[in-house]
Structure formats: C-alpha cells, structure tokens
Amino acid sequence: MAGFVFPNEGVVEWDLLIVIYPYITGLVAGAFIVSSLYHVFGLTSLRPVARFSLLTALSFLIVTPMPLVIHLGRPERGLEMFLTPNLNSAMSAFGYIWFFYLLIVLGEVWLVFRPDIVRYAMATEGTRKTIYSILALGVDDISEESLAIDKKLIKILAFIGVPAAILLHGYVGFIFGAVKANPWWSTPLMPIIFLMSATVSGIALLLVLYVITTKIRHASLDHDCLRSLSLWLAGFLAINVVLEGLEVFSMLYESEESWEIISQLITQKIGLSYFGIQFISGALLPLLVLGGVEIIKPEAQQKTYATFLAATLVLIGVFAMRWNVVIGGQLMSKSLRGFISYTPPLFGLNGLLTASVLLTLPFLILTLITYLLPPWQPDIKQETVPRRRLR
Amino acid sequence: MRKKISRRDFVRIGTQSVVGGIVLYTIPALFADFTTATANSSSYDWEKHYWGFVCDNEKCIGCGRCVVACKLENKVPWEPEYNRTWVERYVITEEGETFVDSPNAGRDGFKTEQPHPNVLKSFFVPKLCNQCDNPPCVTVCPVGATYMTEDGVILIDQEHCIGCGYCLQACPYGARFFLPDKRVVDKCNWCYHRISKGILPACVEACPVKARVFGDLWDPESPVAKTLAAKRVYVLKPDLGTEPKVYYIGFEKGVH
C-alpha cells in the first residue's frame, strides 16, 4: 500500500478470476466472428477453420460462467441473477445474454454438423452409435432439400450470432466502462475496446490452434487460410491498438483530476504489463512481424513460425490487457491518492491454480468435441467432391 | 374415600397438563410478539421522513469514538479494514502538499506527532455512507439486494446478496466492504434500526464535539435542517452526480 487508500479498500475484490472471465468471453466472441466471416460473409479462404472455430467458440462459451460463479461470495445464490434480477444492473443481463448466445451457438453447431452426426450414427456401432443417435435428436433426414434448409438456417443463426457475439462482449466492456466511480474504467470506449481485443484474441487463438492441430494431425496447412487469418488478425489488431492508445491519449489530453494517479498507474504500477506486454510485445511487435511476413514473403515454414509467434504474443497481450483493466483499475484508490497491491495467490479458490484449470478446461472440452465431431477439411472434401462430380 | 388414580391415568393427565401448560404459556407470548411487532412497524412511517446527515470538519477532533461506537453498535469486525464509518486526517503543508492518513481507520484516534515540519493547516474528515439520492450501488446490484428506502436510506438485504462485489466497484466513496464471515457486502445504514425508532445513530450520539449532526430533512426544526439553513455546505465528489445526503462543513480542495 502506498499513499492514502480508503480503509475499506485494502483488498482487490475482483481478482484473477474476473481477469480470465472477459478473456474467455473475448475468445468466444472472436472465434465466433471467424466462423461467421465464412458462414455469413462468404470468406471462403477461412473454410478450413470455419467449423473448428464454431466448436472453439462453444467450448469456451461453456466455461464462461464458471469463473464468475466461483468468484461470488455466495455462489449458492448465483441463480438469483436469473430469478430475481434487477434489470437496471448491467450485470443482471449476463445470464440472459449468455444463455441466448449459447442457444445460438449450439443451434449452429448442430446444424453445421448434422450431416456428419447422421452419417456417424449410421456407420458406427455400440456406444458411439448411441451417442450420435442422441446427438441427431431424432432427425436423420440428410437429403439435398433438407440440407438446403439447414444451410439457410445456419446463415440466419450466424447472422443473429454476429450481433449476439458483439453484444456478449461489448456488454462485458460496458460492465467496466459504466462504473463512473473508477476513472480508469469509466469511458464509453470501453465496450468497443473490449470488442476489438476480443476479435483480435479470437483470431489469434484460431491461428495458433490451427497450426498446432494441423501438426498433431500430420496434415498439411492451408496457407491461404493461414494468410487470411493473419491478415484479419493484423487488421483488427491495428484498429485495436489505435483505440487503446486513443483511450489513454484522451485521458492525458483532457488531464482531469484523475490523470495524475492514472499516469502513475500505467507508468509505475502496471508499467510492464501495460506498455511492455499489452502494447509492445502484444501489439506492436506482432504487427511488425505480420507486416514483415507480407512484405518479405519468406518461405512457407518460416512464415508459419512467424505468424504463429505473432499470434501467441497477441494472445498474451490481450490477457495482459484484461489484467491491466480489471486489476489495474482496482489498484488505484478511489481517494485518487494511493495504490493497493495485488499478487494472485497460488492456491485457493481465487488462486493461480484455479485460474489455470479454468483456462485449460475449454481446451479439454474442445478436444472432446473435436473427437466426437471432427471438423477438419478431409470430411468437408469427402462431402463436396462427389457433389461436384454429380453436376 | 379417595378416588384411585391408575398409573395409565396418571401418565395421561400428566402429559395433557404439561402439553396444555406449554400451549397456554406460549399463546400470550405469541400474541405479545405479534402485537409489539405490529406496534413498531405502525408507529414508524417511512414516508413521513427523509433523513440527512451533516459532518462538520471544523469541529471534528479525530478522537475516533464514532468509529468505536459504530463497530460496537453494528457488530462491525474490529479489524481496521472493515468500516461503516472512519475518520481521515488531512495535513496541508506550506509548500502546498497534502498528506492524508487514517491509521486503523481512526478507530484508535490519531497520534499527535507530525511527520511534516511546515504544517499550514490540518483537519479531520469523518466518512460514512452518503446514502446518495442517485446511488450507483443500487443501480448495479444484479439481484436488487441493495435498495433505497422511502426515507432515503440505502439498505442491504444480506440474506439476498450474492457477493458479486459490483456495488463495491460502483461506490465512489469506498463505503462498502465484504463481511469476512458472511461473505456478503456491508456498509453504514445510518443505524437504521435506531433512527426508525427515533434514536440517533450511534456515531452521532458518541461524538463529543457534535461534529456529526443527524435528522429529518423534511422537518425544518431538525438539527440537520437548521444546520443546512445556516451554513454553506458541500458534498463529496459532486461531479459524479450521485447526490449524497451527507453534507460537509469546511470545504477544502482535494477532499474526496
């Protein structure tokens, strides 16, 4: 503790778990937007990851409420947010938005994978057959007409899903941005910044996962897809870094009473994670790398390594951004005269261990889902090649 | 010719009288509870009051009795990081620097030795929940566990609070804290259990120099209304539009 803080302010109440909550939500929104770039906006170069990104969004979405519920002082009362909500509260909407979005993603996953599910249900035996039969929900019609209807529905769901994803994450930004008591949070830019960084983190995650899973499957990378991902990553990243810079620049320029403590916060208290990780290694360096790859055009393998590295740095950078917002905002006393310190504990419900479990969980779920519903291209090719021959 | 009572009859009559006695004994008690409860609620009409508070920074001597009285009255944990009310000391030097501290939240008073050689002026500021008319804590509570009463006090239903901590973030004054045992939020409610019975809040009663004034804003004869009519006052962080109902006498720049 340094300077003066109000006596009740000794503890950072929104801790590591609340840092990973917007991080996970952001990955959901970003991953979904990638799948929509293909499903809605017809970006065919993203086809190899379109189905996979949908599963990624679902896996992370399932985990989203967990850090929130664990963090509650009285988790057993968590459902009250559904049952007796105060609709004036930005937070009370979380449950509804999350649930609505879950339905959309589940619906889209089911429609996209339905032909596979039905085929697996027919081709497998035993437990697997049971599982796929259940997943088929009793609909085994995969005729051309039926699939055409599916395709329309997928488009509609993806179309609703884009604003829903934006709502889900813009809303997370609003939870912080609407707290006028906290000058580091209180800016209308917050939802937009959260949204952009969400998109950035989602694309980066998919890029990283695409490279890793391709390696694991001993498949060959689709370099068009990789290039497309890295270009979209660079584009959103550029917008994101400008917005994040503008936010602080306008604070500096307006120089309100709170600027003095904010400048101390970003230069001293979170200097490394703010300038070092969020801006330099998490945004500027990846931009340089991604741009450099486009200009120099190195050979395929080096290109893959470079973009992989850039995307990994972006993922770390966005995590740092979440940390800098959530923790950073609470390090400053509302007396504007001092700082609280925070180091996450290793053990305990709110510790590093819980956080790492929560961050690993989506990957385990994703592994399970991709095992059940392989989203990869060979499946798509088998499906599309004969059709072309028919024509 | 005495009538003989069999053992069976003895047990039967005995049981009946014991049970009957218990029932007869408890009925008046039930009624008594019921009547006092209704009497209390009917004698206090929360639509007829609107409470207000004045802190006089020019009078406060930083003795910390208010903090102690509050902790005892409201069973606030004794540790200095849990406070419904606290006292801050401001020291302004001739060089124009401001130093603020609140050792143990002012609970044990303030030591007299000054670490700053060139003190221009020094004063104390008592702090408590401002019971804002436009309370951000009430807006953000996702389950409506914190709410404003008709008489203008913000209360917390601790049986309903889920402990999300959003109200702690939303309060610009640091008035709220987590109760370590109950894992729900607590804060000053101007001793609502007292004021609704016509008794002053514990801190007001404990203050030896009348630096804390409490009363009904709607009653022109109340101490608060009289003070507000006579003095120029200010509120904390007026720019946030929270409309606090704790008014301060003795404005100084930099007191948040």
Question: For residues A124 and A310, what is the distance between their CA atoms, to the nearest angstrom?
Answer: 41
Nearest-CA neighbor of A332 among B178, B229, B114, B174?
Answer: B174
CB pair distance less than 8 Å for A73 and B174 = no
Task: Please state whether beta strands B246-249 and B51-56 pair in parallel, antiparallel, or not at all (unpaired).
Answer: parallel
Cα distances (angstroms) measured from residue B144 to each of A171, A262, A302, B227: 20, 32, 56, 34
CB pair distance less than 8 Å for A88 and B139 = yes
**Residue A138: which pLDDT band, with cuts at 50, 70 and 90?**
confident
Which of B83, B141, B241 lies at the smallest CB-CB distance from A8?
A: B83
Residues above pLDDT 70, as percent of chain B: 84
Which of A74, A88, A180 lies at the smallest CB-CB distance from B161?
A: A74
A10 at interface of B, judged by CB pairs closer than 8 A: yes
Report if pTM > 0.95: no
**Chain pair A-B, CB pairs under 8 angstroms:** 124
Mind telling me how many Å the CA of A337 is from chain B's nearest CA?
Answer: 8
Mind telling me how many Å the CA of B112 is from chain A's nearest CA?
Answer: 18
Nearest-CA neighbor of A116 among A388, A370, A386, A387?
Answer: A370
Burial tier of B13 (Cβ tally within 10 Å: 0-12, 13-18, 19+): exposed
Question: For residues A328 and A337, what is the distance between their CA atoms, to the nearest angstrom?
Answer: 15
Mind telling me how many Å the CA of A27 is from chain B's nearest CA?
Answer: 23
Which of B81, B105, B170 lies at the smallest CB-CB distance from A181?
A: B170
- pLDDT for residue A157 is more than 50: yes
Task: Please state whether beta strands B119-128 and B85-93 pair in parallel, antiparallel, or not at all (unpaired).
Answer: antiparallel
Which of B80, B136, B144 lies at the smallest CB-CB distance from A84?
A: B144
Residues 315-334 of chain A whose Cβ lies under 8 A from any Cβ of chain B: 330, 333-334
Nearest-CA neighbor of B54 among B221, B209, B230, B215?
Answer: B215
A-chain residues near B241 (CB < 8 A): 180
Nearest CA in chain B to A71: B164
Q: What average pLDDT does range A143-152 have in this prediction?
A: 87
The amino acid at residue A153 is: L
Which of B86, B174, B177 lies at the smallest CB-CB distance from A334?
A: B174
Encode pLDDT of B190-208 as tens digits.
999 999 999 999 999 999 9
A-chain residues near B85 (CB < 8 A): none
Other beta carbons within 10 Å of A169? 30
Q: Token pair for residue B17?
A: 């009288």
Q: What average pLDDT does range A65-75 have in this prediction?
A: 93
Residues above pLDDT 90, as percent of chain A: 68
What Rg do the C-alpha atoms of chain A give, in angstroms? 22
**pLDDT the model gives residue A391:** 37
Q: What residue spans define the domains of chain A?
A: 2-385
Encode pLDDT of B106-129 as tens digits.
999 998 766 677 899 999 999 999
DSSP string covering B111-144:
-S--S-SSEEEEEEEEEE----SS-HHHHH-TT-
Q: What average pLDDT does range A220-226 have in this prediction?
A: 91
B-chain residues near A88 (CB < 8 A): 138-140
B-chain residues near A73 (CB < 8 A): 161-165, 178, 183-185
Average pLDDT, chain A: 90
Domains, chain B, ranges and CATH? 51-134+171-249 (3.30.70.20)
CB pair distance less than 8 Å for A334 and B86 = no
**pLDDT the model gives residue B3:** 56
**Residue B11: which pLDDT band, with cuts at 50, 70 and 90?**
low
CB pair distance less than 8 Å for B140 and A179 = yes
Question: For residues B41 and B22, what is the distance between their CA atoms, to the nearest angstrom?
Answer: 29
**pLDDT the model gives residue B4:** 59
Among A6, A12, A332, A336, the strongest candidate for a mutation testing the B interface, having the largest count of B CBs within 10 A, is A6
B-chain residues near A181 (CB < 8 A): 136, 169-172, 240
- pLDDT for residue B21 is more than 70: no
Could you identify the residue written with the tokens 């917390």? B156
Give the side-chain half-sphere CA count within 13 A for A291: 10
Mind telling me how many Å the CA of B196 is from chain A's nearest CA?
Answer: 26
**pLDDT the model gives residue A380:** 44
Mind telling me how many Å the CA of B177 is from chain A's nearest CA?
Answer: 6
CB pair distance less than 8 Å for B176 and A8 = yes
**Residue B27: which pLDDT band, with cuts at 50, 70 and 90?**
low
Nearest-CA neighbor of A63 among A90, A91, A31, A35?
Answer: A31
Helix axes A189-216, A223-254, angle to 10 degrees: 150
What is the ipTM for the molecules in this complex? Answer: 0.88
**Residue B33: which pLDDT band, with cuts at 50, 70 and 90?**
very low
Question: For residues B69 and B76, what is the distance between their CA atoms, to the nearest angstrom?
Answer: 10
A284 at interface of B, judged by CB pairs closer than 8 A: no
A70 at interface of B, judged by CB pairs closer than 8 A: no
CB pair distance less than 8 Å for A92 and B143 = yes
Task: Please state whether beta strands B51-56 and B212-216 pair in parallel, antiparallel, or not at all (unpaired).
Answer: antiparallel
Nearest CA in chain A to B107: A7
Q: Which residues of B touch A (CB under 8 A)?
A: 80-83, 86, 88, 99-102, 105, 127, 136, 138-144, 160-166, 168-178, 183-185, 240-241, 256
Question: For residues A294 and A126, what is the distance between their CA atoms, to the nearest angstrom?
Answer: 50
Q: Fold for A2-385, please state it.
A: Formate dehydrogenase/DMSO reductase fold (1.20.1630)
Q: Work out the angle at residue A174's Cα, subtended by the Cα atoms of residues B81 and B150, and round it to the nearest 5 degrees.
A: 60
Mind telling me how many Å the CA of A95 is from chain B's nearest CA?
Answer: 10
